[in-house]
Amino acid sequence: MTDERADADTGGGDADGDADADVDANADIDANADADTNADGDAELTHTDDSGEVDMVDVGDKPDTARRAVARGRIELRPGTVEAVRDSEIGKGDVLATARVGAVQAVKHTWETIPLCHQIPITNVDTDFTLQESAIELTVAVETTGKTGCEMEALEGVTTGLNVVWDMVKSAEKDADGQYPGTGIEGVEVVEKTKRVI
């Protein structure tokens, strides 16, 4: 397992306007609730106006809070491929180092790839790879101080990091027909989301 901390200075905002409620690890919950619901208590979409037009969420009145989001996912690979990654025997180079850079870059540029994300300051990115028998798992933790969450950044970091792994190991994963019958990215999810009023 490898672990590295990487600092970055700009990134993209939570694409849903931080619409879902945050859980605060320090029990210091922002009084300005993030959940958008109607009179019946049902969740409402925050990226459309009354006429159904797409609209960026206005977060200008929200207080600045310290926020953290963690996402993870995995890429299923042949056991021999995982062993080659572990032993640094992939011809293209250091798979995990390259994937780590890709993950951090994706976090920083989320606002450019997801149309309605806000550009937010990224204060820290942690990446952690776990090599399993026939898979590599990537966990990405993103921190920011601002008006909206960073779970989209964490998800972008995971998906791009795993895509980089796939790109690096393509030659080892292809079958005789040039296909990828046993390769796949799975289980991408947000596993933690917290915030703390500052």
Dist. CA 30–CA 84, nearest whole Å:
47
Q: Among residues 3, 28, 167, 175, which one is catalytic?
A: 167
Rounded to whole angstroms, how far apart are CA atoms 48 and 10?
26
Question: Is residue 167 among the annotated active site residues?
Answer: yes
**Tokens encoding 167:** 């790109």
Pairing of strands 184-197, 119-120: unpaired
Report DSSP letters for the chain, one per residue: -EEEEE--S-EE--TTTT-SPP--TTS---SS----B-TTS-B--SSB-TTS-B-----TTSPPEEEEEEEEEEEE--HHHHHHHHTT--TT--HHHHHHHHHHHHHHTHHHHSTTPPEE-EEEEEEEEEE-SSEEEEEEEEEEEESS--HHHHHHHHHHHHHHHHHHTHHHH--TTS--TT-EEEEEEEEEEEEEE-
Residues annotated as part of the active site: 167
